[in-house]
Every structure is written in structure tokens, then in C-alpha cells.
């Protein structure tokens, strides 16, 4: 089992001038938290980080320091979009890898149980496994003709990572997407779905939220403190 970690985003919505994956959370970069959790998942054998092209040396030092003797880790240069960053990570995986997870560095506090649930779903035969959580807000759709309409939230789910796939399925879907061109996708399951695969949902965790805005960093710090005092 290999995990590709797209970590090459600029993090403009988070501010602070650093690439998001390098922003500190409780004294350590987000990426270190994410990689350490993944390394602690019993199923994970290998990690590939797609880092910001201009800071690869920093990323190599960080992950080496964070993992020590843990699973093998490779750092590659990310691309202009998340999709390109994931593709760069997939490109260095060899035939011996049969399950690939893709996990956003920005979801630094995902629990290990979610990682294991996703791997189990792929092992059980799914084309794509996606952890989800319920929508807690009321949601409205803005209509093209003007106005808006409420959407029944009971039928909606929020998509998280890690998402899991048989390696050949994900590599094929990325190859197809690259040939087709167009707007890059914001997750990997949609690429598998476009290629004819079926998406299986499993239970995610509210702790797997994506750190996007400054308030998310504060929430993540609070969560770490709460975990530390348990
Ligand atoms: O921008 P967003 O929050 O959707 O990014 C999700 C993940 O994709 C983040 O971990 C980010 O670092 C990564 N990403 C990337 N390469 C890009 C853009 C985003 O690896 N060009």
C-alpha cells in the first residue's frame, strides 16, 4: 500500500506566505503531522510526497526527520494543479504497489482508523473508496435563472481523503484525464468515476477536515490539545 500526498498547494486562502503544507501547526509543519499519521497506519508501506517545486530540499529534510525508520518515503515535485501533483506521485510507484491512497497534506489530523477503513474497502474489491461525513449546515443551490433553492442535506455527503484505489485503476483514470484535458479535478474518485469505475463510500471523521482558512488552523490546534489531554 502506497500513499501519494499532494502537498504542493500555495495555500493562498490560509495566508502566511508559506506553502500550506509547510505552515506550522502546534510547532510542526502540517505536512509532518499528515505524514506521521500515515506512517502510523499499519497498512501503509510507502509514502510519496508531491511537494512545492521550489522547496523540495526542505520537504525532504522534514519527512526524513518525521519518519526516521518508518515506511519508505519519496519526495517528488508537484504540479500546477492538485491533479498534476497526484499524477507526479503515481509516476514513481512501481508494479509491486497494488493499493494506492491519495491523501491531502491539508487534512493533517485524519485518524488512522479512517486510513485503515479505506484500505479495507479497496481490498474488498472497490474501484474507488471515499471517506465521507454528513453535512451539518443547511445548503442552498444558486439557480441559473436567479434565486436559490434549498437542497435536502440528508442526501448529501462531504468528501474527504484518503481516497483509495487499486493502483492500475487510478493510474488508468489519471492517464485518461490527462489525454482528455480540460479543468483539473479536485479529487481522484471523480476521475475513476469518469473512467467508468464505481465509487464506494465509507465513514470518514470530522477530524479529517481540510485546513484551508486561518480559523481551521486554530481548530486543528485545539483538536491536538484535546487529543493530548485525553
Ligand atoms: O487547494 P486545496 O486545499 O484543494 O488543496 C488540496 C491539497 O492538494 C493540498 O494538500 C495541497 O497542498 C495539494 N495541492 C498540490 N498541488 C497543487 C495544488 C494543491 O499538491 N498544485
pLDDT digits (tens, 9 = 90+) for 136-172: 999 999 999 999 999 999 999 999 999 999 999 999 9
Q: Are 205 and 121 in contact (CB under 8 A)?
A: no
- Whole-number Å distance, alpha carbon 155 to ligand 1 midpoint, is 27
CA pair distance 223, 70, nearest whole angstrom: 25
Query: Could you tell me the mean pLDDT of each successive run of 10 residues in the chain, 230 residues long?
Result: 95 82 92 94 96 93 83 93 97 96 96 98 98 97 97 96 98 97 94 97 97 94 89
Decide: 20 in ligand 1 pocket, CB within 6 A.
yes
Decide: 105 in ligand 1 pocket, CB within 6 A.
yes
Q: Are 132 and 162 in contact (CB under 8 A)?
A: no
CA pair distance 172, 191, nearest whole angstrom: 9
CA pair distance 44, 112, nearest whole angstrom: 10
Residue 66, SS3 per DSSP? helix
**Residue 196 CB coordination number (10 Å):** 11
pLDDT of residue 16: 76
Q: Which atom of ligand 1 is nearest to the CA of 20?
A: 12
- Nearest-CA residue for ligand 1 atom 4 is 186
Q: Which atom of ligand 1 is nearest to the CA of 21?
A: 12
pLDDT of residue 17: 79
Decide: 9 in ligand 1 pocket, CB within 6 A.
yes
Phi, psi of 212 (to 5 degrees): -120, -50
pLDDT of residue 168: 98
**Residue 215 CB coordination number (10 Å):** 9
Decide: 39 in ligand 1 pocket, CB within 6 A.
no
**Cell numbers of 162, please?**
484518503
Sign of CA dihedral 155, 117, 47, 208: positive
Q: By CB neighbour count within 10 A (0-12 exposed, 13-18 middle, 19+ buried), where does 228 fall?
A: exposed
CA pair distance 166, 172, nearest whole angstrom: 10
Amino acid at each position: 500500500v502506497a500513499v501519494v500526498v499532494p502537498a504542493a498547494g500555495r495555500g493562498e486562502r490560509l495566508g502566511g506566505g508559506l506553502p500550506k503544507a509547510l505552515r506550522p501547526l502546534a510547532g510542526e509543519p502540517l505536512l509532518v503531522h499528515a505524514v506521521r499519521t500515515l506512517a502510523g497506519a499499519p497498512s501503509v508501506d510507502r509514502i510519496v510526497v508531491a511537494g512545492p517545486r521550489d522547496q523540495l530540499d526542505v520537504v525532504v529534510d522534514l519527512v526524513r526527520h518525521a519518519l526516521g525508520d518508518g515506511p519508505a518515503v519519496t519526495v517528488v515535485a508537484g504540479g500546477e494543479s492538485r491533479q498534476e501533483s497526484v499524477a507526479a506521485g503515481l509516476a514513481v510507484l512501481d508494479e509491486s504497489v497494488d493499493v494506492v491512497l491519495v491523501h491531502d497534506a491539508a487534512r493533517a489530523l485524519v485518524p488512522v482508523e479512517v486510513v485503515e477503513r479505506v484500505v479495507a474497502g479497496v481490498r474488498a474489491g472497490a474501484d474507488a473508496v471515499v471517506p465521507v461525513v454528513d453535512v451539518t449546515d443547511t445548503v442552498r443551490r444558486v439557480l441559473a435563472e436567479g434565486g436559490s433553492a434549498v437542497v435536502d442535506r440528508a442526501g448529501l455527503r462531504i468528501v474527504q481523503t484518503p481516497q483509495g484505489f487499486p493502483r492500475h485503476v487510478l493510474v488508468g483514470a489519471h492517464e485518461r484525464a490527462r489525454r482528455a484535458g480540460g479543468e483539473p479535478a479536485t479529487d481522484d474518485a471523480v476521475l475513476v468515476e469518469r473512467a467508468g469505475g464505481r465509487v464506494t463510500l465509507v465513514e470518514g471523521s470530522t477530524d479529517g477536515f481540510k485546513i484551508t482558512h486561518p480559523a481551521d488552523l486554530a481548530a486543528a490546534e485545539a483538536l491536538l490539545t484535546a487529543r493530548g489531554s485525553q
